[in-house]
Amino acid sequence: MTVLAFDLGASSGRAVIGQIDNGYLTIQEIHRFKNKPVQVGSHLHWDILNLFTEIKQGILKAHQIGFTNIESLAIDSWAVDFGLLDKNGELLANPYHYRDRHTRDIMDEVLTIIPKEELFHRTGIQFMDINTIYHLYAMKTANNTALQNADSLLMIPDLLQYFLTGQQKSEFTNATTTQLFNPEMQNWDYEIIEKLGLPSKIFKDTIQPGTMVGEVLPDIRDELGIQSSLSVMAVGEHDTASAVAAVPRIKDQNFAYLSCGTWSLLGTEVPDPVINEKTLKWNITNEGGVNDTYRLLKNIMGLWLLQESTRIWELEGERLSFELQKELIEQADPFRAFVNPDDSMFIKPAHMPKEIQRYCQETNQYVPQTKGEILRCILESLVLKYRFVLERLEELTGVSFSELHMVGGGIKNSLLCQFTANAIHRPVYAGPIEASSIGNILMQYQGLNRIENLQEARNIVRNSFPIKKYEKEDSHKWEQAYNRFKVILDEQSKER
Ligand code: ADP
Ligand code: LRH
């Protein structure tokens, strides 16, 4: 049996064929494409039509290669972003990028209408400017005509799925990331929605991962020259939900995971949301997971800081390969200066190297000068933040995590994995790289009744993909670095 997964990350997307035989999953990437945001005037957008073109291209390639008997396909993507449709089902505007600047100061406005504690208790979701709720409120404040004329709101994978099938559905895991979904009621929180003066009719009924959504429309099949019908299924459409579903089962105990890509999502799996004063204080979130689980996690700024730095250097004329980045980091002296990677100054596209330098200057630290020093400062700060968050997760859950499972494209960065093991003083198990695609595939198999549950899915991951173990090194030096890092965090806590 063959299924097709589309996984759209903030930096790239891919189409992956999945086939399970005798408890062993093989994947084949058949199409990969860049996902580049587009600045138009004062707004930053996703190029949604290009993404749809790439999805059709992926379907076409699958057929051209000879996969003509695909049982189902599914799409997952980054969270929080959405498109608005009018009453005729037409897309009203190109979706905004979650890093668009129009949410500046909007959270404070929202919190004057719904107190922070109440919003957290009703949704269990961390406070980040990127959340859907703040984008919608910014659009309302700006008298945005797309919002005024909207009949439905679809999150990015739901929107692309609608373009394919004509069916409008809201998938659960992604819906939770809006900060407008109430896990206790298992529904959109219409009280919040109404208090904010947002149109309640735009929110569609939610469906669970594993639900069949519809068939690819005949017009699209004609366009691609494809005879056979093709079903589309909802999976854990939030890419992180799919990635967590693909964390391999190594030991029968609670586990901590780190999904590494543009963002670093550090968390653990829980049966119910953990909504209390500590989660609120530490801004830890409860996002919906597959198979009735929740993802108790925190967003950490992640490899975005490296991506932005290398983007700027490329604009300035120097393209640094991953190999060269590694060399430069290894040549730079360790532990010269640290930043809080989650400081609000780093969230938007910027001249990241200068922002890193500014942070170090403002906190009276050594100011990294060379590219290697800047990259090293980013990497060390990131992994020290991992430790900080991991310790809070342990305090919240009462679980002591003996290891950390890292998945996602970021684990190709071996220094990141090694530094993580060093910083957290525990072994790191890295793999698989394409966790989101794999989680997407395994959920399709569950929806098609070929896999029974999440345990079986995770056993398949463990059997099918290499997992690399990183042992901790230089414990004493990293301990000293962590103590210095915590002082910086205390002095400069401007997280949001
Ligand atoms: P997303 O899905 O968020 O777009 P991915 O999971 O595809 O992200 O991971 C992309 C990140 O992985 C890049 O930002 C880059 O930092 C890192 N990466 C990818 N390939 C390599 C590599 N060969 N060496 C080191 N890092 C890599
Ligand atoms: C990772 C991710 C993350 C979200 C962010 C918008 O790709 O989905 O879980 O918080 O993008």
pLDDT digits (tens, 9 = 90+) for 1-55: 999 999 999 999 999 999 999 999 999 999 999 999 999 999 999 999 999 999 9
What is the average pLDDT score of the chain?
96
Q: Tokens at residue 102, please?
A: 């129009």
Arithmetic mean of pLDDT, 319-326:
98
Q: Is 261 in the pocket of ligand 1 (CB under 6 A)?
A: yes
Q: Which two tokens stand for residue 108?
A: 């404070």
Q: How far is the CA of 409 from the centre of ligand 1 (A)?
A: 4
Q: In the numeric block, which tokens belong to residue 438?
A: 């794999």
433 lines ligand 1 (CB under 6 A): no
Task: Give 80 Cα–ligand 1 centroid separation in angstroms.
Answer: 20
300-317: per-residue pLDDT in tens? 999 999 999 999 999 999
Rounded to 5 degrees, what are φ and ψ at 461? -60, -45
pLDDT for 254? 85
- Under the banding of pLDDT at 50, 70 and 90, the label for residue 492 is low
Rounded CA separation 193/150 (Å):
15
- Whether the CB of 415 sits within 6 Å of ligand 1: no
The response to whether residue 464 sits with its C-beta less than 6 Å from ligand 1 reads: no
Cβ count near 161 (within 10 Å): 28
Q: If 0-12 CB within 10 Å is exposed, 13-18 middle and 19+ buried, where does residue 363 land?
A: middle
pTM beyond cutoff 0.90:
yes
Per-residue pLDDT at 495: 65
Q: Which residues fall within 8 angstroms of residue 289, CB to CB, at 6 or more apart?
A: 173, 236, 241, 244, 245, 269, 295
- CA of 64 relative to ligand 1 center, distance in Å: 28
Ligand nearest to the CA of 7: 1
Task: Indicate which ligand has the atom closest to the C-alpha of 407.
Answer: 1
Whether the predicted pLDDT of 496 surpasses 60: no
Instruction: Please state, as a whole number, how many other Cβ atoms lie within 10 Å of the Cβ of residue 72.
Output: 22
**Does residue 307 line the site of ligand 1, with CB under 6 A?**
yes
Which residues have C-beta atoms less than 6 Å from ligand 2? Answer: 9-10, 78-80, 98, 130, 238-240, 261-263, 265, 299
Buried b (16+ CB within 10 A) or exposed e, 22-52: eeebebeebbebebebeeeeeebbbbbeebb
What's the confidence (pLDDT) of residue 148? 98
CA 121 to centroid of ligand 1, rounded, Å: 34
Q: Report the distance separating Cα 419 and Cα 421, nearest Å.
A: 5
As a whole number, mean pLDDT of residues 81-105 equals 97
For residue 30, give both structure tokens.
């058949």
Is 205 noted as a catalytic residue in this protein?
Answer: no
Catalytic residue among 239, 292, 333, 342: 239
The pLDDT, as a whole number, for residue 249 is 78
Predicted local distance difference test score (pLDDT) of residue 491? 77
The closest-lying atom of ligand 1 relative to the alpha carbon of residue 304 is 14
Which candidate, 306, 297, 315, places its Cα nearest to that of 261? 306
Q: Provide the pLDDT for residue 472.
A: 97
Q: Give distance in angstroms: CA of 301 to centre of ligand 1.
A: 14
Q: Which residues contact 120 (CB under 8 A, 6 or more apart)?
A: 127, 275, 279, 280
For 319, residues 6+ apart whose C-beta sits below 8 A from its C-beta are 310, 313
Tens digit of each residue's pLDDT (9 = 90 or more) over 378-420: 999 999 999 999 999 999 999 999 999 999 999 999 999 999 9
